Amino acid sequence: MRVVVQRVSEAQVKVKSEIIGQIEQGLMVLVGIETEDSEKDVQWLCKKIVHLRIFDDEAGVMNKSLLDVDGNILAISQFTLHAKTKKGNRPSYIAAAKPEISIPLYEKFVACLEKESGKKVETGKFGAEMQVSLINDGPVTIVMDTKNKE
């Protein structure tokens, strides 16, 4: 699994001009799932994301986690995170998992984030054309891939 985690002061996702998910201070997480990904990857990422110390403390040092600042999460599925761009100019998405694999793992990912954070996680709509907007606070953007966890 590959995620892009952005510290935000606000974020929202729309489908057909209707807001279906929005948060204020917290994390916007784009998540891409590959065929080989498993529940172990979900568990590792959830713990890592919720406990990442990327929010400023009183001294202005990134030393607080999402839990410390009582932040929220907006999680958006995004198969394009697994784009291969080595050949030609049209990205290949062959590494991205098919819906029969990715939908259940995405749902487990969201449920795991809810359990770890103790809050409802806002989401987009899997497979839909979405418009995502955010104010990246910092900016702070971190990319994590479960293939690099060891």
Q: Where are the domains of the chain?
A: 2-145
Query: What is the four-CA torsion angle of 33, 38, 44, 47, rounded to 10 degrees?
Result: 80
Query: Looking at domain 2-145, does it have CATH number 3.50.80.10?
Result: yes
pLDDT digits (tens, 9 = 90+) for 48-102: 999 999 999 999 999 999 999 999 999 999 999 998 898 889 999 988 999 999 9
Cβ of 54: how many Cβ atoms within 10 Å?
A: 21
pTM for the full predicted model: 0.94
Three-state secondary structure call for residue 23: strand
- CA pair distance 144, 150, nearest whole angstrom: 12
Return the residue matching tokens 């990442």.
52
Active site residues: 78-80
Mean pLDDT of the chain: 96
